[in-house]
Structure 1
Amino acid sequence: MRTFIAVNLSDAVKDNINQVVEKLKKVDPGIKWVKKENLHITLKFLGEVSEEKVKAVGDLLSEKLKDLQAIELKFIGIGSFPRVVWIATRNGAERLSKIWNQVEAVLEKEGFERDTRPFAAHVTIGRIKGNRNPKLKGELEKLKDFDFGTDRISSISIMKSTLGKTGPSYEEINKI
């Protein structure tokens, strides 16, 4: 099964993000915008993994993160990488980065390749295909300090991703 490890967001934060996404869709409908129910922070994409491996990873992560303290994450501002529109996290991002390191260490022992790029906690809200609409840059600039709310994060999840005609759908298969 196709899996990844994520931090899921509250409905309140998802609603705030989705309101802005609906407005941005009108500016650049060519972007593949993320559905509200799929909004999350990816900690690690695992790819195709057997059910047995998913269970083993879940057990190891549960043990490693058993003393996980809740993190207050603020979601403020929109930015973009060359092909991604994203929302930044503030305040608890450093603590989330430590969790990411723990996840990477556990997964490396299980045979997954360690990510060499530095972790940049963010919520992907859109994927840019082709050329970007010049109007989008101006709209994103207006939203660089927009406050999408605060979430109290006390768990991470192993998610199953199923690709369909209308895009991926995600299902939580283990909450840690």
Structure 2
Amino acid sequence: MDDHTEPPTRRVFVALAPPDEAKDELARALEPAYVRYPRLRWNRIEDWHITLAFLGEQPSTVVPPLRAALADRAASHPALRLGLRGGGHFDQRLLWTGIDGDLERLHLLAADVRDLVRSCGIAFRERPLHPHLTLARSRRDDAVSVPLAAAGLTGFTGGLWRTERLHLVGSNIGRGPGPIHYRDIEAWRFGAAVRALDGDAPAEP
């Protein structure tokens, strides 16, 4: 199959992505865990995202209407100030680091995105938003590594960073055997008001 051909179905989600410097900071903090818990199924750093709306497996036909709608929605929202902090786990199986910063506006953005997805006629299973970044999953016979790795992140506090773009992300489902990887389908800058977050003078009207 041509690399530029869209797969018939893919897992799709809308997300925010930490910048490279924030990822590098977290990766350095995880170096001891990488060595101590090699049997964990560690996510690729390239796949680290903060999911706002997970749409599950969808036909590729959902992508065009989402592109236009998400572009408009991103332009109407300012950027957020976020950071990565600490560690935790879900059911001793999934390791995560938490999100710090402008959480109130993060929840508002996620609610807005989910409303938009529903308005496009796309059905998906909604879960409460617990802002986090998934790092690894345990194997079925290992119920110890994830809690220990989470405890090792207790003191981690990353620097704050600005969300530059809203990302529509898709998997490589339909492209043959092998691990599932994710890539941006498209990403859109948040509105011009983001400049004020850095102390810059607002743009002239």
- Fold-level match, TM-score > 0.5? yes
Percentage identity across paired residues of the two chains: 26
Residue 25 of structure 1 corresponds to 34
Q: Which stretch of the first structure deviates more once superposed, 103-112 or 39-48?
A: 39-48
**Alpha-carbon offset, residue 113 of structure 1:** 3.3
Separation (CA, whole Å) in 1 of partners of 2:172 and 2:106:
26
Give the number of the structure whose residues are more often strand, by fraction: 1
Residue 42 of structure 1 corresponds to 51
Which structure is larger by alpha-carbon Rg, 1 or 2?
Answer: 2
Whether contact under 8 Å (1:27, 1:136) holds in the other structure is no
Residue 88 of structure 2 corresponds to 79
- In the alignment of these two chains, the number of paired residues is 176
* 1:18-167 matches, cutoff 5 A: 18-82=27-91, 83-113=93-123, 115-132=125-142, 134=144, 137-163=147-173, 167=179
Whether contact under 8 Å (2:170, 2:185) holds in the other structure is yes
**TM-score, with structure 2 as normaliser:** 0.76
Change (3 A) 1:24 1:133: farther
**Alpha-carbon offset, residue 20 of structure 1:** 3.0
Aligned residues: CA RMSD: 2.2
Change (3 A) 1:159 1:135: closer
Q: Which stretch of the first structure deviates more once superposed, 59-68 or 153-162?
A: 59-68
Separation (CA, whole Å) in 2 of partners of 1:51 and 1:138:
39
Deviations 1:52-110 (A, max 9, x none): 42121121122233221111101110111112100100121221111110111011122
Letter in 1 for 2:74: L
Runs of 4+ with >6 A deviation: none
Whether contact under 8 Å (1:6, 1:40) holds in the other structure is yes
**TM-score, with structure 1 as normaliser:** 0.87
Q: Which stretch of the first structure deviates more once superposed, 109-118 or 77-86?
A: 109-118
Deviations 1:17-36 (A, max 9, x none): 22233321222222111111
